Amino acid sequence: MKLLLLIVILFFGLLLAYYSILTIAGIHFRQNRQMPTSLTSYPSVALLIPAHNEGVVIHDTLEAMLKLSYPGKLDIYLLDDQSTDDTADIGRVFSSFFKNCHYIQVPDGKPKGKSRVLNYGLSVTKSDYFIIYDADNQPNHDSLKLLVETAEQTPNAAGAIGYVRTINQEKNLLTRMISIEFQVFQLLMQCGRWVLFKTGSLPGTNMLLRRSVIEEVGGYDPYALAEDAELTIRITARNYLLPIVPEAETWEQEPENLKAFIKQRTRWLIGNLYLLEKLFHDPTFWRGKALYHTGQHLLTYFFFVIMLLFSNTWFVLSLIGMNMPVLTQPLIMIWFLSYMVFSFQVIGSMIFNKNTSAINLFVGMIMYFTYSQLFLILLFRAIYSYAISRIRGKTIAWDKTKRFKEEQIQ
């Protein structure tokens, strides 16, 4: 048992070192980043918005898209997936007033979900690039321009990746934690991976892609609930790059209550379990730099869970009086270092996003002991749902995140 504990401590220490290096690399990237220069001519872009019953937010979203400052040809497509609310009415009004705004009724079909809708959108549009925005997004006016300039000036780029910010971050404790999570893991860690490994992960929204590359890899997998992660690996396996553009920001809503959060994150995790299954029978996922993304998924959804289970089990057995091997000093040191690394990541991300405040610092400090522990519950919930669906031979349905009315970003 003592040997096992030493192995766990060593592995955990290596993880801490890895994430510390990523954090430092991400900070270095943000401090020393060279902005892209203007192009002599800009390629055409199709902006795709997959939508299902988005009436409460789609008006603000379309207004934000029309404010994008892009020097080239830009067409906006609202891809309506059989909405039963007023999404269609709003979309048709916009398309009648603005010649570059198009309402597209997506035919009914299976499997349901974002991937099938995007594949249809690709089939009915023509452009050099396309960019995906979720139906609640409000990008900054220069986001698309920055993404295109970066993609065009990065050799062998399949597109470019922007940053997703939380529009309702001050609503409550949960939304503040989600916002901080995105700042650390979706931006700072992304920047670090780009610096060290020249890899980027598609975030599902605010992502620009070259049409020829997507056609080469075969489009979206219609059964993938985590379509962004799955497509990332197939693009990377072809040795294409996905550069990170932190200044290309979009703002989106995040769940404001635990029920909505659990439903959303369970869907994300189920999608990643599907991806893990593909890892073991698709050689593409072990090719070139795709191996890094494969390792990242195994680290996140396999090794991390084992580590978390081990530490929690150790803690519970100690509480009930079991005679456990004593390695007090190394354990205290590892836990202290892990908390310090997490705090360093949180504070660093806040500084670069210019949202450092007493309340945000407090929330960031307690996330390690509260928000992070939800991951274990979510993963077990996702594993159960995924296993049941596989046993019964059913396709897991897409579960849309609930929307609400929100103020526009000016």
Q: Return d(Cα 295, Cα 14) in angstroms, integer.
A: 14
Task: DSSP letter for 300, please.
Answer: I
Q: What pLDDT is recorded for position 382?
A: 86
Q: Is residue 77 classed as helix, strand or coil in its secondary structure?
A: strand
* Minimum mean pLDDT range among 16-20, 108-112, 239-243, 360-364: 16-20
> What is the DSSP track for 79-145?
EE-S--SSHHHHHHHHHHH-TTEEEEEPPP-SS-SHHHHHHHHHHT---SEEEE--TT-EE-TTHHH
**Residue whose C-alpha is closest to residue 334's, from 317, 362, 314:** 314
Give me the residue spans of the domains in the chain. Answer: 35-256
Contact 45, 128 (CB under 8 A): yes
Tens digits of residue pLDDT in 103-140: 999 999 888 889 999 999 999 999 999 999 999 999 99
For residue 36, is pLDDT > 70? yes
Q: Which residues of 139-174 are buried (b: 16+ CB within 10 A; e: fewer)?
A: bbeebbbbbbbbbbebeebbbbbbbbbbbbbebeeb
The pLDDT, as a whole number, for residue 50 is 95
pLDDT tens for residues 55-102?
A: 999 999 999 999 999 999 999 999 999 999 999 999 999 999 999 999
- The pLDDT tens digits for 8-24 are 667 777 777 888 888 88
Residue 242, classed as helix, strand or coil, is: coil
Are 158 and 240 in contact by the 8 Å Cβ rule? The answer is: yes
Task: Note the pLDDT of residue 270.
Answer: 86
Rounded distance between C-alpha atoms, residue 13 and residue 331, angstroms: 10
Peptide bond into 111 cis (omega under 30): yes
Residue type, 157: A
pLDDT in tens, 255-266: 999 988 998 888
CATH superfamily membership of 35-256: Spore Coat Polysaccharide Biosynthesis Protein SpsA; Chain A (3.90.550.10)
* Nearest Cα to Cα of residue 371 among 173, 190, 164: 173
pLDDT of residue 300: 67
Beta bridge mates, 251: 138, 165
Average pLDDT of the chain, as a whole number: 85
Show the tokens assigned to 81.
């997936």
The distance of Cα 328 from the centroid of its chain, to the nearest Å, equals 37
pTM of the predicted structure, to 2 decimals: 0.87
∠ Cα 220 223 228 (to 5°): 45
pLDDT value for 342: 74
CA distances from 317 to 311, 334, 396 (A): 10, 19, 37
Mean pLDDT on 205-233: 93
Burial annotation 303-337 (CB, 10 A radius, 16+ → b, else e):
ebeeeeeebeebeeeeeeeeeeeeeeeebeebeee
